[in-house]
């Protein structure tokens, strides 16, 4: 069963300007961030929602928005969704930030993630 959404990720072209906008102008408080040679990522916590900005990974492209649907049992949920006709474009794998993730497409072709925290 899907029991929450976390995080909502907005992919941005100008990571530095967007980070400053959300942090300095909107006053959102940083929860965590990553600035390495391959990606730029910052997470803000708003009540019970995690909102993140992502500068993308080198060599990859993605849509403007990504939502992580959280579940306690990803294997069971992937089976349920596949039986309902949901198409997965990435099977379950361990992710570097902890937990497991699989990617599916909605009926309009948008990629979304199913995530089981560690």
- CATH number, position 85: 3.10.180.10
- What is the per-residue pLDDT for 62? 59
| pLDDT classification of 61: cutoffs 50, 70, 90 | low
Q: In this prediction, what percent of the chain has a pLDDT beyond 90?
A: 31
Q: For the chain, how many structural domains are there in total?
A: 1
Give the per-residue pLDDT at 78: 96
Comparison of pLDDT for 110 and 29, the residue scoring more = 29
Domain of 55, in residue numbers: 2-116
φ, ψ of residue 103 in degrees (nearest 5): -115, 135
pTM (2 d.p.)? 0.67
Task: With residue 4 as reference, give the H or E element that holds it.
Answer: strand 2-11
The stretch 41-47 carries a mean pLDDT of: 87
Peptide bond into 7 cis (omega under 30): yes
Which of 77, 100, 78, 105 has the alpha carbon at shortest distance from 89? 105
């Amino acid at each position: 069963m899907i029991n929450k959404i976390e995080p909502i990720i907005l992919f941005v072209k100008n990571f530095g300007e967007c980070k400053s906008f959300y942090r300095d102008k909107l006053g959102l408080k940083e929860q965590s961030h990553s600035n390495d040679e391959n990606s730029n990522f910052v997470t803000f916590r708003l009540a019970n929602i995690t909102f993140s900005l992502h500068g993308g990974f080198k060599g990859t492209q993605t849509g403007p928005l990504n939502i992580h649907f959280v579940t306690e049992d990803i294997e069971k949920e992937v089976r349920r969704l596949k039986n309902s006709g949901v198409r997965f474009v990435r099977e379950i794998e361990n992710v570097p930030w902890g937990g497991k993730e699989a990617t599916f497409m909605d009926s309009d072709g948008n990629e979304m993630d199913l995530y089981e925290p560690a």
